[in-house]
């Protein structure tokens, strides 16, 4: 069963993706039209990415098991 890990703020810092990539969270933002909360993060190559905050803090299914999509280091 999926657990809701969404919190009021996203803590900046280093995170690891469940597939092994390391990312640095810059912070969170709001979509200008929908006000959806977004996680803003940077990959090792310097590219900036955004993802819906609930998805960033959510889980992925790996071999039938729910695991955190990103884990703070």
In a domain, 68, yes or no: yes
In a domain, 17, yes or no: yes
Domains contained in the chain, number: 1
Cα of 38 vs its chain's centroid, Å? 9
> What pTM, to 2 d.p., does this model score?
0.82
Cα 29 to Cα 48: distance, rounded to the nearest angstrom: 13
Domain harbouring 21, CATH code: 2.30.30.320
In a domain, 5, yes or no: no
- What's residue 18's pLDDT? 97
In a domain, 43, yes or no: yes
Q: What is the DSSP letter of 34?
A: T
Cross-strand bridge partners of residue 31? none
When pLDDT is cut at 50, 70 and 90, the band that residue 61 belongs to is very high
In a domain, 26, yes or no: yes
Q: Give the structural domain span for 32.
A: 13-72
pLDDT tens sequence across 1-46: 344 444 556 899 999 999 999 999 999 999 999 999 999 999 999 9
- What's residue 8's pLDDT? 57
- What's residue 25's pLDDT? 98
Cross-strand bridge partners of residue 30? 37
In a domain, 1, yes or no: no
Residue 72 has pLDDT above 80, yes or no: yes
């Amino acid at each position: 069963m999926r657990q809701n890990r969404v919190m009021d703020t996203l803590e900046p810092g280093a995170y690891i993706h469940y597939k092994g990539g390391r990312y640095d969270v810059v912070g969170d933002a709001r979509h200008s039209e929908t006000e959806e909360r977004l996680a803003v993060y940077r990959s090792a190559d310097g590219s900036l990415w955004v993802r819906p905050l609930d998805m960033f803090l959510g889980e992925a299914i790996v071999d039938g098991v729910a695991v955190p999509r990103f884990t703070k280091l």
